[in-house]
DNA sequence: AGTCATCGTGTAAACGATTACACGATCATC
DNA sequence: GATGATCGTGTAATCGTTTACACGATGACT
């Protein structure tokens, strides 16, 4: 494949000049510029980003390690990140951790070896030694969606405390008293916080906190289904199940459906995370939506700041409740106005 | 950051020996091996993949340009590809074309500049000059899911002809005669083929082919909604709408729901592409499922063959009909057995 | 007219790895 | 014990860029 040298020879200039034209890093006569560009065109020259990166020690690439590529929350996030990064001239390399620490580490390692300029990480439950190394190693790093306790890394995430409060009071208003929550892994901030917010909200609403109604899953569909099964097998099953993310909601719906139970007649369901198809489920699922686009944008901006060597503040945005019909008839609260769910 | 030189110095050997230990590319005394590895560990040395790639002219990376990252079909595909590639020691860099030729080109260009070892491309509707260049340039390239007419590139895809035939005969068996089809872009093989299979199937079933029942969209939700609107506005609207992919199905469902129509009472719906949440829609959506995992696996294997310089045959797999209830009561045909839809 | 910026360009040294080639030591073979 | 194969290791060239430095030409200013 043709290189700068070939271009230089064909255009009758030096390699330095070719480089200058291509990056306009220094003034160049119009005449030589057109000669060089003509040569580039003629040879079908494509700059070798590998060589460039080696020399400049910058790849204009950021790494993104997400929890699960099959989870629409993460793909929407990835998409937003990608858009924002491209606008700033950066490419994004996505790694799918599949919620497994060793796979997360695999990608963190690979991305660092590829010398990405910075790393956006949705950390899995465990703090691995590698992650600890990276943090102390000082590579530009931003946590996304989740924090890890005890690590000093800027984080961009949504806080659902207020929305969960609104959800519980909505449920109480519908007359429900037995409300169960299927949380994520306790090690994850998103797991702990949502559980804490939920129990606090129960207390505020004057409802009892029953330990048997607090289940934990791993943010994957199967665990949601298993948790729902355990809840429904209780001598006094809950009236409503709130699942901690959209995949566990899917799993819970599977279990409910497999048992032939009616929603919300036999049991109601609500989800943390909103996804487009919730509108089409029978009945449409009440959910807490996160400002995914904004999360992605802010994450990229934060990371670029870090790459630029500037300090950044943590970013916390608010999630918001979207009332639909899966927990009972909403009465006067309903305030939906939705399109296809896709822009 | 530490380099081979530092490791070599600390271990008291030459850089060549360090390299030999790290890649075990030549025999090395056990004693020096442990000294080198100790030095690597002590310094937290991470090989610079950029430099390595420059020297070896290989990145052990493949590029994947998908049509739309918000489309579950593509994310499932990406996931399968990623798994297979990782098993062979390759990383995958994903680009999201968003069904836009210029964005596709952006990624093809970027990926080539990054010197990926090969490219997996789900081509958008138009053959861009860049794609033509790449094809004639001889870079390892495999088309995925879709073909472009007139280009000699190995393709891995699913053929839905048989499944569409089965779907139409299923519909005819339910007594439907007015069946509409919302296809993808005519320029895309997936658009053309599905339409052709559909009209052929109508004829086989002895049903009339009515041009006003053949709509076209762009594989995005909004176009599905618009097409459904046009169909439902017809003086004699169809009894069933078959949408050419899952996003257009979503859009069509939105339109049907916005009009307060009952499914399948007022109008039935079926989808090309099956996604997990179709089970939870009211009523569950009859769909044609593609062997996504297998497509991904075969695509990677094909590309690796090409990278190895070996010729490869096109791969065509069969799609299959999954009957649910969105087109009417299935009677005896139903043969579902589904779990959560996620492994 | 002499001095000095400024401008456009070229030459050559990096960047951090891999690897062809060379070289001394060890060992088996005759 | 001389010969030559084999083994472990080191030296230095190389990959394709960018860029520090140098240098001649041009033009402005005194």
Got the DSSP string for A117-174? Answer: SEEEE---SS--HHHHHHHHHT--EEEES---TT----EEEEE-HHHHHHHHHHHHHT
Other CB atoms within 10 Å distance of the CB of residue A70: 21
With a cut of 50, say whether residue B342 has pLDDT above it: no
pTM of the model: 0.90
With a cut of 60, say whether residue A332 has pLDDT above it: no
A155-159 and A315-318 beta bridge pairing: parallel
Question: pLDDT of A39-76, one tens digit each?
Answer: 999 999 999 999 999 999 999 999 999 999 989 999 99
Q: How many A/B residue pairs have CB atoms within 8 Å?
A: 145
Stretch B246-253: mean pLDDT: 92
Residues in Cβ contact with A309 at an 8 Å cutoff, skipping those fewer than 6 apart: none
| Mean per-residue pLDDT of chain A | 91
With a cut of 60, say whether residue A336 has pLDDT above it: no
CB < 7 Å to strand C — which of 6-25 in chain A? 12-17, 20
Residues in Cβ contact with B34 at an 8 Å cutoff, skipping those fewer than 6 apart: none
Using CA atoms, how far apart are residues B57 and A102, in angstroms rounded to an integer?
Answer: 29
Confidence at residue A11, expressed as pLDDT on a 0 to 100 scale: 95
- Is the preceding omega at residue A283 within 30 degrees of 0, hence cis? yes
| Residue bearing tokens 């958008």 | B124
Question: pLDDT of B55-92, one tens digit each?
Answer: 999 999 999 999 999 899 999 999 999 999 999 999 99
A214-216 β-sheet, strand order? A214-216, A179-183, A240-243, A268-272, A286-289, A320-322
Specify the range with the lowest mean pLDDT, choosing from A64-68, A85-89, B149-153, B270-274. B149-153
- Provide the 3-class DSSP secondary structure of residue B97: coil
Confidence at residue B13, expressed as pLDDT on a 0 to 100 scale: 95
| Residue bearing tokens 């990406």 | B78
Using CA atoms, how far apart are residues A225 and A206, in angstroms rounded to an integer?
Answer: 29
A97: alpha, beta or left? (left if phi > 0; alpha if psi -120 to 50): alpha
Stretch A152-168: mean pLDDT: 94
Confidence at residue A334, expressed as pLDDT on a 0 to 100 scale: 36
Residue A135: strand pairing partners: none
**8 A C-beta contact, residue B326 and residue B285:** yes
- Is the preceding omega at residue B283 within 30 degrees of 0, hence cis? yes
Specify the range with the lowest mean pLDDT, choosing from A237-251, A270-284, B77-91. A270-284
Residue with more model confidence, A138 or A14: A14
- Provide the 3-class DSSP secondary structure of residue B331: coil
Rg (chain B; Cα; Å): 25
Tokens of B118: 């090969």
Confidence at residue A330, expressed as pLDDT on a 0 to 100 scale: 55
Question: pLDDT of A104-116, one tens digit each?
Answer: 999 999 999 999 9
A112 touches strand C (CB under 7 A): no
Selection from B119, B71, B164 nearest residue B300 by Cα: B119
Note the Cα A8 to chain centre separation in Å.
45
Q: What distance in Å separates residue B112's CA from the closest CA in chain A?
A: 8
Confidence grade of residue B333 (pLDDT, cut at 50, 70, 90) = very low
Selection from B319, B276, B311 nearest residue B294 by Cα: B319
Using the beta-carbon criterion (under 8 Å), do B50 and A53 form an inter-chain contact?
yes
Gap from A294 CA to C5 C1', in Å? 50
With a cut of 50, say whether residue A261 has pLDDT above it: yes
With a cut of 70, say whether residue B317 has pLDDT above it: yes
Confidence grade of residue B330 (pLDDT, cut at 50, 70, 90) = low
CB < 7 Å to strand C — which of 256-295 in chain B? none
- Those of residues 122-141 in A touching chain B at CB distance below 8 A are 133, 137
Taking contacts as CB-CB distances below 8 angstroms, the residues of chain B near A50 are 50, 53-54, 59, 114-115
Using CA atoms, how far apart are residues A284 and B222, in angstroms rounded to an integer?
Answer: 20
Stretch B138-152: mean pLDDT: 91
- Percent of chain A at pLDDT above 90? 82
With a cut of 80, say whether residue B182 has pLDDT above it: yes
Note the Cα B315 to chain centre separation in Å.
14
B320-322 and B286-289 beta bridge pairing: antiparallel
Confidence grade of residue B173 (pLDDT, cut at 50, 70, 90) = very high
A99: alpha, beta or left? (left if phi > 0; alpha if psi -120 to 50): left
Confidence at residue B282, expressed as pLDDT on a 0 to 100 scale: 78
**8 A C-beta contact, residue B123 and residue B185:** no
- B277, B278, B281, B338, best to mutate vs chain A, most A CBs in 10 Å: B277
Name the DSSP class of B188. Answer: S
Confidence at residue A150, expressed as pLDDT on a 0 to 100 scale: 86
Confidence grade of residue A215 (pLDDT, cut at 50, 70, 90) = very high
With a cut of 90, say whether residue A268 has pLDDT above it: yes
Chain D nucleotides near the protein (CB, 7 A): 7-12, 14-20
Taking contacts as CB-CB distances below 8 angstroms, the residues of chain A near B69 are 75, 78-79, 82
**8 A C-beta contact, residue A121 and residue A142:** yes
Gap from B25 CA to D12 C1', in Å? 19
- Those of residues 59-118 in B touching chain A at CB distance below 8 A are 59, 61, 69-70, 72, 75-76, 78-79, 82, 86, 91, 93-94, 96, 106, 109-110, 112-115
Confidence grade of residue B281 (pLDDT, cut at 50, 70, 90) = confident
**8 A C-beta contact, residue A140 and residue A148:** no
Selection from B187, B139, B167, B189 nearest residue B316 by Cα: B189
Confidence at residue B338, expressed as pLDDT on a 0 to 100 scale: 42
With a cut of 70, say whether residue B155 has pLDDT above it: yes
Confidence at residue A29, expressed as pLDDT on a 0 to 100 scale: 94
């Amino acid at each position: 494949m043709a290189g700068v040298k070939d271009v230089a020879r064909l255009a009758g200039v030096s390699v330095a000049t070719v480089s200058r034209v291509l990056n306009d890093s220094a003034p160049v006569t119009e005449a030589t510029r057109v000669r060089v560009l003509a040569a580039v065109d003629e040879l079908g020259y494509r700059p070798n980003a590998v060589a460039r990166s080696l020399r400049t020690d910058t790849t204009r690439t950021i790494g993104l390690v997400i929890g699960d590529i099959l989870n629409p929350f993460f793909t929407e996030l990835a998409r937003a990140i990608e858009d924002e990064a491209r606008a700033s001239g950066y490419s994004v390399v996505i790694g799918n951790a599949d919620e497994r620490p060793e796979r997360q580490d695999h990608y963190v390692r690979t991305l660092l070896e590829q010398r990405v300029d910075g790393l956006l990480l949705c950390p899995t439950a465990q703090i691995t030694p590698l992650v600890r190394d990276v943090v102390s190693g000082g590579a530009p790093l931003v946590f996304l969606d989740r924090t890890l306790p005890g690590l000093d890394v800027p984080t961009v995430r949504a806080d659902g405390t207020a929305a969960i409060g609104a959800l519980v009071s909505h449920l109480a208003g519908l007359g429900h008293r037995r409300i169960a929550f299927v949380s994520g892994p306790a090690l994850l901030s998103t797991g702990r916080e949502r559980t804490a917010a939920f129990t606090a909200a129960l207390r505020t609403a004057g409802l009892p906190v029953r330990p048997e109604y607090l289940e934990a899953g791993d943010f994957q569909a199967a665990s949601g289904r298993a948790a729902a099964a355990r809840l429904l097998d209780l001598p006094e099953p809950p009236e409503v199940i709130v699942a901690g993310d959209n995949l566990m909601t899917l799993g819970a719906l599977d279990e409910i459906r497999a048992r032939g139970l009616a929603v919300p007649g036999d049991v109601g369901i609500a989800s943390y995370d909103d996804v487009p198809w919730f509108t089409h489920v029978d009945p449409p699922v009440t959910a807490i939506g996160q400002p995914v686009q904004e999360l992605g944008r802010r994450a990229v901006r934060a990371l670029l700041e870090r790459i630029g060597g500037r300090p950044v503040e943590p970013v916390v945005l608010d999630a918001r409740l979207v009332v639909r019909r899966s927990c009972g008839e909403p009465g006067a609260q309903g305030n939906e106005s939705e399109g296809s769910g896709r822009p």
